Amino acid sequence: MVYIASDVSDQSTPSSSSGSPDLRCDAASIESMCNADPVYDTFPPSNQLVLAQPQSVVGHVSPDMRISPSISHLSPDSWRMINYIMTHFDRVYSLTYFKPIQLQLVKYRQTMLERLQSSSITRRIKLISFKLHEAIAKGDDWRYQDIFTQWLNQFENELCSRWGSTTVPQTVQVRFMEALEISYLKTMLLGNENSYPFLRFTAPAFLQTVYSDRTLWATDHPPTAVSMAHVLSSPRCELGTFIVMDTLYSMAYSLPQLVEYDTSVTSLPDELYGYSWAHGCPTEFQIALAEINARRDGTGTRDWRVIEHSLLTWQSRPSPREAEWESWMVVAWLAVQESWRHALLAYLYMALCGASSDDPRVQGSVKQILRIVKTVKKPERPVASIHFFAQYFIAGVCARTEAQRTLVRDKLTNMPESRNWLVHGNIFVPVLEHLWTGAGAGGRPVKWEDYVFSRERVLPVPV
């Protein structure tokens, strides 16, 4: 078990910065969330605070958890945060659409506990994350958006003030994880106008994290590129998050990926703890997306016909999750995978083959995407929607009828449905509108370069 250097150790109150909210009051408010009640009628809770003793967290943690004997330096406030988060861990994870199975939960609990012991910022971010997800589930998030945003802005300022101050691998890993968590939570609250620049900012930390962990290497020698299969199959979900966001933004912005990926290994035997379960995209499809992006930019090695063949002949493999899932979830899992397959095929034909949107292959996949997404059962809670950005985005680029375009527009701008997507579609809707009223006016077929022209005009990316 790794414990982080003192520069990310316990701190009860963040350091002040100009323009920040009153941090002492904010810290007290954050700490006030950590009482023993599982659900609050009001938020922030008005209950009298009861300080937990450091050892009390052990009583709330599963037997498979391990507590470090060397963390006596943690304050009572920190123990209360750990206690609260671990007590409500399963409850928050139950808000996902595709539920993790028991073996996954055991692993994720242990990882969470280790991280909570390592960093003050991590504890506070996770606490806010849990409360934000609870507020969204209850439909109360709009009431507390300002205070959530103030806290996240303060955490971001604190993290950025320390960024680059150390090259210790463990510390860099923690800060990278914290940065992605902050970016994701701000995206849930506000949209994602700044997510891509922020992702670009964190890319060096991502590379340092991967290259310092031999379990993520494809060979025994230091890699020259990031093995996607090894990273996506690992329990390091923050690394998988970076790859998913990088490849999706590369597609949507039609810009080179931030990282050079090794796609020679397409899957690994044991992917139980990997990232694909969260959004229903198999590792092979994530790799195919990276290959299409690279080939589009002239750096890929696989011929487009090889990628096409792998997508056309792909078949879903049995998953150990199916034994614990309800039948409707298994059906949804298969449907989401199929929608990914068709999105990638349409993207491949447009971006690599020069096909126009009226190509029968493209329109066939678009119709399948829109048919499939309608059949997937809607979540009971607003925080549990499926990540459908790629599907609706590609369908939007290729859409020719007003009915198709209206559906795509509504889905990409539907904040309650799309707020937990890693990439929000709302900022790309004006780009699609420009495409639809320009090159695609009247349902005329468009090519990929027409979309790129609209994106560069409407949504330029500063160098």
Q: Dump pLDDT digits (tens) for 61-85.
A: 444 444 454 445 778 888 888 888 8
User: Helix or strand or coil: residue 401?
Assistant: coil
Alpha-carbon span 293 to 351, nearest angstrom: 8
pLDDT of 316 higher than 70: yes
Asked if 294 and 287 count as a contact pair (C-beta separation under 8 A), the reply is: no
Give bridge partners of residue 262 from the DSSP assignment: 227
Contact assessment for residue 339 and residue 387, using Cβ atoms and an 8 Å cutoff: no
Residue 433 confidence class, pLDDT cut points 50, 70, 90: very high
Alpha-carbon dihedral sign for residues 362, 368, 373, 374: positive
Phi, psi of 8 (to 5 degrees): -125, 30
pLDDT at 236 over 80: yes
The upper half-sphere exposure of residue 189, i.e. CA atoms within 13 Å in the direction of its Cβ, equals 26
Q: What is the DSSP letter of 428?
A: G
Question: What is the Rg, in whole angstroms, of the alpha carbon atoms belonging to the chain?
Answer: 22
How many other C-beta atoms are found inside a 10 Å radius of the C-beta of residue 443?
Answer: 15
Q: Is the dihedral of CA 451, 351, 242, 92 positive or negative?
A: positive
Over residues 103-125, the mean pLDDT reads 85
Q: For position 49, what pLDDT does the model report? A: 26
- More confidently predicted of 343 and 417: 343
8 Å CB contact between 81 and 115 = no
Tokens linked to 242: 């970076």
What are the boundaries of each domain within the chain?
13-189
- Which pLDDT score, from 0 to 100, does residue 219 have? 78
* Contact criterion met (CB below 8 Å) for 292 and 301: no
Alpha helices in 271-313 (DSSP H): 276-279, 283-296, 304-312
Q: How far is CA 259 from CA 10, 101, 274, in A?
A: 33, 31, 20
Whole-angstrom Cα distance, residue 132 to residue 140?
Answer: 9
Supply angle C-alpha 426, 429, 432, rounded to 5. 155
pLDDT at 398: 98
Half-sphere exposure of 431 (CA within 13 A, CB side): 27
Quick one: pLDDT at residue 27? 44
Would you say how long the chain is, in residues?
A: 463
> Are the C-beta atoms of 408 and 432 separated by less than 8 Å?
yes
- Per-residue pLDDT, averaged over 206-235, amounts to 87
How does DSSP classify residue 52? P
Residue 43 has pLDDT above 80, yes or no: no
Are the beta carbons of 83 and 108 closer than 8 angstroms? Answer: no
Place of tokens 């298994």: 330
pLDDT digits (tens, 9 = 90+) for 95-111: 777 877 777 788 888 88
Q: With contact defined as beta carbons under 8 Å apart, do 264 and 302 qualify?
A: no
Instruction: Look up tokens 């994870």; give the residue.
Output: 93
Vertex 454: Cα angle to 346 and 305 (nearest 5) = 25
Q: 47 pLDDT band (50/70/90 cuts)?
A: very low
pLDDT for the residue 377: 77
* pLDDT of 192: 66
Q: Higher-confidence residue: 10 or 449?
A: 449
Query: Average pLDDT of 415-422?
Result: 80
Q: What contacts 435, CB < 8 A, 6 or more positions away?
A: 397, 446, 450, 451, 454
CA distances in angstroms from 103 to 273, 293, 398, listed in the order given: 9, 34, 41
pLDDT, position 94:
74
CB neighbourhood size of 142 (10 A): 10
Q: What per-residue confidence (pLDDT) applies to 206?
A: 94
Q: Within 10 Å of residue 113's Cβ, how many Cβ atoms? A: 23
Tell me which DSSP letter residue 88 carries: T
Considering the entire predicted model, what is its pTM?
Answer: 0.82
Please report the pLDDT score of residue 16 as a whole number. Answer: 33
Who contacts 40 (Cβ-Cβ below 8 Å, separation ≥6)?
Answer: 33, 47
pLDDT at 33 over 60: no
Identify the bridge partners of residue 227 per DSSP, sorted by sequence position: 262
DSSP 323-358: GTS-HHHHHHHHHHHHHHHHHHHHHHHHHTS---TT
CA-CA distance, 83 to 34, in Å (whole number)? 8
Is the predicted pLDDT of residue 18 greater than 50, yes or no?
Answer: no
